[in-house]
Structure 1
Amino acid sequence: MRESILDTHTVFNQSPIYGGHNNWVSDPLLRRIVGEVPAEVRKGLEAHGMWAGHYETYELARLANRHTPSLRTHDAKGNRLDLVDFHPAYHAMMRKSMSAGMHCSIWDDDEAEQGKRNLLRAARYYMTSAVETGHLCPITMTNAAIAALVGTPQVAEEWMPRVRSRKYDPSSNPPIKKSAITIGMGMTEKQGGTDVRANTTRAEALGDGLYRIVGHKWFMSAPMCDAFLVLAQMSEGNQTGLGCFLIPRILPDGKPNGLRFQRLKDKLGNRSNASSEVEFHGALGQLIGEPGRGVSTIIEMVTLTRLDCATSSAGLMRASVAEAVHHTRHRKVFGEKLAHQPLMTRVLADMALDVAAATALSMRLAASFDRAREDGAEAAYSRLMTPVIKYWVCKSAAPLIGEAMECLGGNGYVEDGNLARHFREAPVNAIWEGSGNVMCLDVMRVIARGGETLNQVLDMLEADLGGRSAAKTVEVIRTAAGMAGGDIGSARILTEQLALTAAGAELKRLGLGEIADLFVETRLGGLWRSTYGMLDNRHDTAKIVDMLYPER
């Protein structure tokens, strides 16, 4: 067709729309970490990676975040509804993630995943986070809630068959009438979220294991979950202190259970996921765990959600740098592709090192969960390194994604693409399940209570780091731990040093050669930097980018 004289220009020198890739096949590091698995498992990972990288999945992610959830408190006649409407794209994402078992697979008895259940789930979660993270909130909470439910057998017997079902059911029917259910949590109140012992929501015993719950929660995400684990104060007889209660949203007779949603939060990111303010008007709940020991009941649940925060952040980081690499391999400036220009290559390689570290750390933590029951050193690693890894990986995401946006210029800043959404999404994982200072305080508590926990972990890190400098690096951490013991204000120094050392050790253990050496040299070797791109010309930075982001 001949060009019209009215045509103003021809579009050229734009990178192709990002997508149409396989998040499993295109990620050599993830495949190396997962290692050997049965053929059926590998095929499942490849299929999931294909879905996560498909153009249609990116479109679902865009729609779910553009058309945000809306709350309907009342019907046309003034009757309470307390329903949240989601775009069909959100339900499509939920349906896929639940069919993949990300809400329950670590609790299944599938022999094919034996010994790697947490690691394999983390791999799927990581690949999914690269495209859309908001819908993963109820997935995460349901997976973690099972840890609390299994401690109360009579409740678990009733709820577990539908919690472990993979047939997504978004209806507002009673749980007993649904094909599958999701479970949320409510801990934070207006007066605070970190110090849950200050909660004012109260529970009144009714007999037969039932309690009436009166109070509120300031943040309760995924309000269309079928039930919620909620902390409330107990004050009957010897039953004092916080208890943990399972509160269904809909009662067995189909009537609402006194959960009145006040409004949905207008959040910076995580917009496909609804986060509500809720009041409990005499809601009925069952006690989970022991009376007055609600905090102990939710400890393992919190640990599992922190792993997901780190894994999600790593997935966002991977997706952002992958898109930056994709763009710079196609875009020319001054007649040469950006990816071939030294300044850009060093920025990409520098970012790729942190993505590799975040990925390796998140997966290493998941693997420690798999091995903790049989291996004391792995149990020590999971206890100490959960807050360490959550701290560093989640905090690394926002600045890295900001740098990746710069690689695309204005194309990275607009909402038509993916990076603006990833950037808005990044901060929430550093806030959820304990912000940075809370993670540092948890690190100090584990060290103070754990006896040999720190030494067990440091012995593992020293062995994996190897070389003449390993002992010196570990000694620096011991010194930092001693300082933090006397000066809690320095706990961030210890936490970050632990994270960087653990990342270097894991990259070494994985046999990543030049990638591991360069990470250790630049992150642990004392070379100061405040932005990406500070690598010197001794290193083949183009090779590093190609190793971690092979061309398709």
Structure 2
Amino acid sequence: MNLTLQAQRADHQLPPVETHQVLNQASPCSGYNAFTGDVVLRDMVERHAPWSATNASAVGALAGDAQVQEAARLANEHGPQLRSHDRFGNRTDWVEFHPSWHQLMGLAFGNGVHSLAWTAAQPMGHFARAVLSYLWNQVESGVGCPTGMAYAAAAGFAGKPEFALWREKTLSTQYDPRRLPVEQKTGAVIGYAMTEKQGGSDLRQTQTIGVLAGSENGAQVYLLTGHKWFFSVPTCDGFYTLARTKSGVSCFFVPRLLADGSANRVFVQRLKDKCGNRSNASSEVEFNRTFAMLVGEEGGGIREILSHAHLTRLDFAVGSAGLMRQALTLAINHASTRNGFGHRMADLPMQANVLADLALESEAATLAALRIARATDGMHLSESERLLARVATPVVKFWNCQRATTFVYEALGVHGGNGFIMENPIARLYREAPLNSIWEGTSNMMCMDVLRALSREEGALEAFMTEVSGAGAADRAHGQFLSDLNDDLGARVNDEGNGRAIVTRMALALQASEMLKHSPASVADRFVSSRLGNRHAGVIGTLTNGPDIGDIVARATVN
């Protein structure tokens, strides 16, 4: 009898075996509300803007909705495509997005993620809008770019009658992707295009030229010629940009279409093939005698654009905290619904330590981001709040964006090999996290901005130290930390080489203060002793073991 026949007979004698039975895989992380299930966020809203809980709950439900999560996956899987010409050879300079992108844009704009700060009839609008942005960054970060740009753009339009229609359309909750003049649209999407290849973050190196061409509807009209290195969402209805005029670098607003429906001379050269943020189109564009309207005073462009930058930097500080919160939710879900070595993974002592440490990091990042949002609400009412917002916004933007990458790396590690597969949403977050440290000012730029504010803004140092000392010192080490920080800020405010070290300590001081004010004493003490007690060294999972580790994880579990 040959071997093949022997094998066939043996096979008939064996019981049937299912070789692809799925066992011990984590449950899908869906069916939850990222607002109502987040005790930290829910408590902060109840304390500072209870009127916005309904808005927050609506966006929080989207983060946990399986169909919305699938739309986010599809938008990243099927990225935007440049259509420079139509089939007849005419230039179109258009970008096609997958239907899931438009679905997500409709949800974000429809829920006021971009506009609530400006449309709220109740106080604390910037705080309430920050909560929505925090939640939306747990849905899809690519769409967080146009919502954040619209948020800042509305401030740029304010008080300028010639841009009243643009502001009205920008604040609309009706997402309208049609390629029409703004007068015919139900809502507008706004972008920014400042960066040029020779200067990067140094806007003083702007080489694009603007030539005065006349006036129209109360605005001075210029023709721009030049090249912009990064231009996200090139299908925007209009965008802010910079160009050099006789008086220096000036700020302009460029409509995508002209009033007669013809295309403005904005030529998309290519789309960037980015590491992350794949759902969002980022491009290079050429201006060639492009119609533009002057914004503010000629020669004051950098000052004008930086007046918007406070809001975009706030948005990235908040967005990074939201991204970290999503990564934490995914990690806890994975470890709680998968077994290893005979135990639930979340119960393994070292894994529990990692999860608890991530929970502390997330809570501190959230509270610090929401504190600068509240300071933004108070900027025009209180000098101390204005000074705090001025100094602390770049502090928190620097630190939250820095920590997001390390945080997501550790959250991915909780998933093991499954986390490194692009079908898993944690892998998408891993590719996304580093970008926030680059957008709207690199880490070094944020630290330089902090030192500049401390040296130029009278009372800024005192306002910051008053804020971080307001809850008192948790222990002797914390008190010494604050005393040393105060001394160093006074003596080394112009020491640029130590900028990162100084701003890191400022960030930890602010986080500790917020934890002491808003978190349970046991949780706050854990954060202070680990971050300010010289044991942590920035490595996640190095908490002193104790019976409260499980309680910290339970507090962070979305229910």
Category of TM-score, reference length = shorter chain: over 0.9
Contact 2:536 2:543 (C-alpha < 8 Å) held by counterparts = no
Residue 169 of structure 2 corresponds to which residue in structure 1? 162
Residue 498 of structure 1 corresponds to which residue in structure 2? 506
Q: Which stretch of the first structure deviates more once superposed, 317-326 or 259-268? A: 317-326
Residue 245 of structure 1 corresponds to which residue in structure 2? 252
Amino acid at match of 2:139: V
Aligned with residue 59 of structure 2, among 26, 37, 48: 48
Aligned with residue 312 of structure 2, among 305, 309, 314: 305
Provide closer, same or farther for how the CA distance between residues 125 and 334 of structure 1 changes in structure 2, counting only shifts above 3 A. Answer: same
Residue 228 of structure 2 corresponds to which residue in structure 1? 217
Contact 2:451 2:494 (C-alpha < 8 Å) held by counterparts = no
For 1:253 and 1:134, the matched residues in 2 are separated by 31
Pairs within 5 Å for 1:220-231 = 220-231=231-242
Residue 6 of structure 2 corresponds to which residue in structure 1? none
Residue 75 of structure 1 corresponds to which residue in structure 2? 86
1:396-416 residue CA offsets vs partner (Å, 9 max, x unmatched) = 011111111111111111011
For 1:262 and 1:156, the matched residues in 2 are separated by 28
Residue-pair matches, total: 541
What is the Cα deviation at residue 528 of structure 1? 4.1
SS at match of 2:492: helix
Residue 145 of structure 2 corresponds to which residue in structure 1? 137
Amino acid at match of 1:57: V
Amino acid at match of 1:484: R
For 1:362 and 1:485, the matched residues in 2 are separated by 23
1:437-493 residue CA offsets vs partner (Å, 9 max, x unmatched) = 101100110011012111111012111244454542222212332453353100111
What is the Cα deviation at residue 37 of structure 1? 6.9
Amino acid at match of 1:251: L
Q: TM-score, normalised by structure 2?
A: 0.94
Provide closer, same or farther for how the CA distance between residues 543 and 528 of structure 1 changes in structure 2, counting only shifts above 3 A. Answer: closer
Amino acid at match of 1:325: I
Provide closer, same or farther for how the CA distance between residues 195 and 229 of structure 1 changes in structure 2, counting only shifts above 3 A. Answer: same
Contact 1:215 1:279 (C-alpha < 8 Å) held by counterparts = yes
Residue 405 of structure 2 corresponds to which residue in structure 1? 398
What is the Cα deviation at residue 137 of structure 1? 0.8
Residue 540 of structure 1 corresponds to which residue in structure 2? 548
Matched, 1:194 2:201: yes
Amino acid at match of 1:69: P
Contact 1:242 1:295 (C-alpha < 8 Å) held by counterparts = yes
1:244-292 residue CA offsets vs partner (Å, 9 max, x unmatched) = 1110011111111000000000000001000010000111111111111
Amino acid at match of 1:47: A
For 1:37 and 1:513, the matched residues in 2 are separated by 20
Provide closer, same or farther for how the CA distance between residues 150 and 44 of structure 1 changes in structure 2, counting only shifts above 3 A. Answer: closer
Amino acid at match of 1:293: G
What is the Cα deviation at residue 48 of structure 1? 1.8
Residue 88 of structure 1 corresponds to which residue in structure 2? 99
For 1:452 and 1:39, the matched residues in 2 are separated by 32
For 1:47 and 1:157, the matched residues in 2 are separated by 29
Residue 481 of structure 1 corresponds to which residue in structure 2? 489
Residue 30 of structure 1 corresponds to which residue in structure 2? 41
Residue 338 of structure 1 corresponds to which residue in structure 2? 345
Gaps of 5+ in 2: 1-13
Bigger-Rg structure (1/2): 2
For 2:491 and 2:459, the matched residues in 1 are separated by 18
For 2:228 and 2:300, the matched residues in 1 are separated by 19
Residue 9 of structure 2 corresponds to which residue in structure 1? none
Residue 327 of structure 1 corresponds to which residue in structure 2? 334
What is the Cα deviation at residue 154 of structure 1? 2.3
Contact 1:140 1:308 (C-alpha < 8 Å) held by counterparts = yes
Pairs within 5 Å for 1:133-532 = 133-151=141-159, 153-208=160-215, 209-235=220-246, 240-467=247-474, 469=476, 471-482=479-490, 484-485=492-493, 487-532=495-540
Amino acid at match of 1:390: K
Contact 2:474 2:525 (C-alpha < 8 Å) held by counterparts = no
RMSD: 1.6
Q: TM-score, normalised by structure 1?
A: 0.95
Contact 1:58 1:131 (C-alpha < 8 Å) held by counterparts = yes
For 2:150 and 2:40, the matched residues in 1 are separated by 28
Contact 1:144 1:300 (C-alpha < 8 Å) held by counterparts = no
Contact 2:46 2:53 (C-alpha < 8 Å) held by counterparts = no
Q: Which runs of 4+ in 1 moved over 4 A?
A: 36-40
What is the Cα deviation at residue 329 of structure 1? 1.0
SS at match of 1:473: helix
For 2:181 and 2:232, the matched residues in 1 are separated by 20
What is the Cα deviation at residue 188 of structure 1? 0.3
Provide closer, same or farther for how the CA distance between residues 11 and 249 of structure 1 changes in structure 2, counting only shifts above 3 A. Answer: same
SS at match of 1:262: strand
What is the Cα deviation at residue 543 of structure 1? 0.8
Amino acid at match of 2:149: M
Gaps of 5+ in 1: none
SS at match of 2:493: helix
Amino acid at match of 2:177: P
Q: Which stretch of the first structure deviates more once superposed, 86-95 or 471-480? A: 471-480
Over the matched positions of the two proteins, sequence identity in percent amounts to: 38
For 1:322 and 1:546, the matched residues in 2 are separated by 11
Amino acid at match of 1:133: S
For 1:297 and 1:316, the matched residues in 2 are separated by 29
SS at match of 1:485: coil
Contact 1:480 1:493 (C-alpha < 8 Å) held by counterparts = no
1:220-247 residue CA offsets vs partner (Å, 9 max, x unmatched) = 1111110010110111xxxx11111110
Provide closer, same or farther for how the CA distance between residues 164 and 528 of structure 1 changes in structure 2, counting only shifts above 3 A. Answer: closer
Q: Which stretch of the first structure deviates more once superposed, 134-143 or 63-72? A: 134-143
Q: Which stretch of the first structure deviates more once superposed, 33-42 or 159-168? A: 33-42
Contact 1:148 1:289 (C-alpha < 8 Å) held by counterparts = no
Q: Which stretch of the first structure deviates more once superposed, 461-470 or 372-381? A: 461-470
Amino acid at match of 2:527: F
What is the Cα deviation at residue 15 of structure 1? 1.3
